[in-house]
A and B are shown apart, each in its own frame.
Chain A
Amino acid sequence: MHPIIATLIKRIGLGFVSLFFVSLIIFSSLNLLPGDFVEAVLGQSRTEETVATFRKELGLDKPFHIRYVKWLSAAVQGDLGSTFSGRNASYANQPQQSTARTVTGLLKPRLYNTFFLAAMTALIAVPLSLFLGITAALYRNTFYDRTVNASALATISMPEFFVAYILIICLASIYQIFPSLSNVTASTPFFERVYLSILPALTLTLVTVAHMMRMTRAAIINLLSSPYIEMAQLKGLSRSKVILEHALPNAWAPIANIIAFNLAYLIVGVVVVEVVFVYPGVGQLMVDSVIKRDIPVVQGCALVFALTYILLNLIADVISIITNPRLLYPK
């Protein structure tokens, strides 16, 4: 077999293994709760009867591995169980369907919103940071390079909500160009949706561009010290040609890694930004559910985030394997 395929299969297999363990951790986190989980959820007004019914419905009367397999096979089919909200001591008297909403139903529209925001940010941030990183490497140690670097360091150190609030003050309050609340709904038309999401997307862009740009610059400058680049320079090639045609193709692997890493970071940054702008995404849902201690929803959100995170890292690794010329030609 071609070694590149073997490496790819190995890496993808590893990705699935970590997915499996991550799902195991997320599922078993429910069992970490000290004391009786059911009694804690049902609260003060619980009765013997409701506790027993609820426990049976959650399947807590069955052993751990059976519950896990059941949960996982349902999750793979898109069923993440039902939420706790709306469930209380009196729930046992009512039919189940009307009180308990499904986690999947809650997640789906928000997932679309979050991915919309992430995609919008990526569309602005990735080209911008590549441009800034490559030009900073091209004009390194100039005033331009220093300014870009210093402002990047400053934005990295700032918490997301700081950047968000500064943007709100400048662009939503003093100059009322953009709305400070991004309350999009499913029926919001596309362009209005873009308009409403500009401030959150801008915040996320500022936070991620700094990282991506610095790492792109470092990846290219790292390569510039290799002998073949010196050779190209000695041949008399122009600076831009050396960087774009000689250094850049070899920098793709680290750059792909950087981009995927930062998109994964975006997934995390999205939580805070969604809360600031009251953007109805998965992050906001997760925070709300954490405060309400609605654990099935928290698990569902965590699963979605972890899945995206692992997939993005997997894609980055696959790209760096494919673009690695040393693997393309077997010895």
Chain B
Amino acid sequence: MSKLDNQYSAKDEVATVFIRRTFFQRALITLKKAPFTAWLGMTIVCVYIFVAVFAPFIAPYGEAQIFKDPYAPWDEIHVFGTDRLGRDILSRLIYGARNTMGIAILTTLLAFIIGGGLGLLAAILRGWVDQFLARFVDILMAIPSLIFALMLLSIFGSTAFNLIIIIAVLDSTRVFRLSRAVGMNVAVMEYVEAARLRGEKISWIMGREILPNILPPLVAEFGLRFCYVFLMIASLSFLGVGIQPPTADWGSMVRETGELIQYAQYDITAAMTPILPAAAIGILTIGVNFVVDWFLYLTSGLKDEHK
């Protein structure tokens, strides 16, 4: 407040009207306006993350703990029964959240580091570096990625490490395309030119000048890429060439309990056992998609296609 109460000050009046909101207040307002699907998506993602982080405290039994009766039916002791080796399905589902999601996130991060870095580099340097990288990526993308991944896995062998590297490299091609395209638009701006004339290093131009300006599309792409990687790892594990036992993983769980499906007419709960991990995969993908849709809507003001 001003020193003299009877004296008018425009600055004070503005100050009383314009309260600067903290980050959390702004976030809260945005969240309040979020549509139902976004809330649903966020709830799903939060529940999954919670389960993954606190898996050892939630799971009734250990990840690879073996009980005496294989293929036990659903009851109080084993909520979703046991599998072929007598391992508790519920516990494996809970641990699976940690393994499946952890590997998928790691792979996506790696893909973004490789693809995003090279994409920005191509956008800044242009010339032959850009041409070479772009053509190389074109060729890699000419082979369907699942087929390519299968071929590389057969050569290097199916270990978790190989899986992460192979899928990250294959997936980085799409990240490369996106970050190169959006990076190109920013790289021609005056302030980038100014930074260049100032003599800033390439890493500075990439990280401090361009990256902050292309972050929204990259974050949205991260969500979509995560879904894609997640589904791909699940498919590979389902085919038996992804994450290897005894690690609990949703894709391989579907594969291991798949034969139970034939008994649907006798015992519907038994047939539901392979459906549970498959549904866990599907629900997370839908949840992430909802969140990404909302995020895209927020950041780009992208309205639905219709006029």
Contacts and interface: CB of A to CB of B under 8 A. Distances in A.
Contacts of B285: 157-159
Contacts of B155: 29-30, 32-33, 293, 295, 298
Instruction: Indicate the size class of the contact surface on chain B.
Output: 35 or more
Nearest to A181: B262
Contacts of A222: 305
Interface string B229-273: 001001100111100000000010010001001111100100100
Contacts of A154: 286
A34 B139 CA distance: 23
A270 B155 CA distance: 22
Interface string A287-322: 101110111001101100110011001000000000
A26 B143 CA distance: 10
Contacts of B227: 157
Contacts of B281: 158-159, 162
Given A25-B139, A158-B282, A295 B154 contact: yes
Interface in A150-207: 153-154, 156-162, 165-166, 168-169, 173-174, 176, 180
B275 A26 contact: no
B279 interface: yes
Contacts of B49: none
Nearest to B150: A290
Overall SS of chain B's interface: helix
Given A29-B155, A159-B235, A22 B142 contact: yes
Given A18-B139, A287-B150, A313-B142, 18 more contacts: A18-B142, A25-B143, A29-B152, A159-B238, A160-B235, A165-B274, A165-B278, A174-B264, A218-B305, A265-B144, A267-B144, A268-B146, A276-B258, A289-B154, A290-B154, A298-B150, A302-B148, A309-B144
Interface of A: 18-19, 21-22, 25-26, 29-30, 32-34, 140-141, 153-154, 156-162, 165-166, 168-169, 173-174, 176, 180, 218, 221-222, 224-225, 264-265, 267-268, 271-272, 275-276, 286-287, 289-291, 293-295, 298-299, 301-302, 305-306, 309-310, 313
